[in-house]
């Protein structure tokens, strides 16, 4: 476990930027901003046009740490408190879950919830509950 500092203002500002990006994507392309859809659409594109905008969006996302480094002089913190095995197993499970559940934190949790979509509300409540439960079991039941 790694202690982290409570950052309400940075997190709020980051959240507002995430919401601004979701709004701008709807304004420009008329699309929902979902990281799952972006990744799936770049790797398994349905057509050239479907690939192009997702690739551009992904390129913008990946450029962000360098942009932050330019302005603030350091890369955003990425602290990984779990083993490599947990990263890989967790990643495979995440990939399966977001495919079956048709979305993740950005698609369901932000865009879908903002549209008051019942599917997204059910999905978000479900994955949040399971993430709380998983972390509790891993840190306090098994690892406690």
Residues 71-110 that bind another protein (CB under 8 A): 75-82, 84, 86-102, 104-106, 108-110
Question: Any residues with CB less than 8 A from the CB of 117 and at least 6 apart, and which?
Answer: 108
Among residue numbers 117 through 136, which ones bind another protein (CB under 8 A)? 117-119, 122-124, 126-136
CA atoms within 13 A on the CB side of 73: 0
In the complex, minimum distance from the CB of residue 54 to another protein, in angstroms, rounded to a whole number: 8
Among residue numbers 18 through 57, which ones bind another protein (CB under 8 A)? 18-36, 38-40, 43-44, 52-53, 56-57
Question: Residues in the chain, how many?
Answer: 144
Q: Select from 99, 140, 133, 106 the least CA-distant residue to 120.
A: 106
Size of the site for another protein (CB under 8 A): 113
């Amino acid at each position: 476990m790694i202690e982290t500092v409570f950052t309400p203002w940075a997190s709020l500002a980051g959240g507002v930027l995430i919401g601004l990006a979701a709004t701008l994507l709807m304004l420009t392309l008329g699309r929902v901003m979902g990281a799952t859809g972006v990744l799936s659409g770049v790797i398994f594109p349905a057509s050239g046009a479907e690939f192009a905008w997702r690739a551009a969006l992904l390129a913008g996302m990946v450029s962000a740490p360098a942009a932050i480094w330019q302005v603030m002089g350091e890369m955003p913190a990425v602290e990984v408190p779990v083993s490599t095995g947990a990263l890989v197993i967790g990643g495979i499970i995440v990939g399966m879950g977001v495919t079956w559940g048709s979305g993740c934190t950005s698609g369901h949790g932000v865009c879908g919830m903002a549209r008051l979509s019942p599917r997204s509300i059910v999905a978000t409540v479900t994955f949040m509950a399971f993430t709380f439960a998983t972390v509790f079991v891993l840190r306090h039941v098994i690892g406690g």
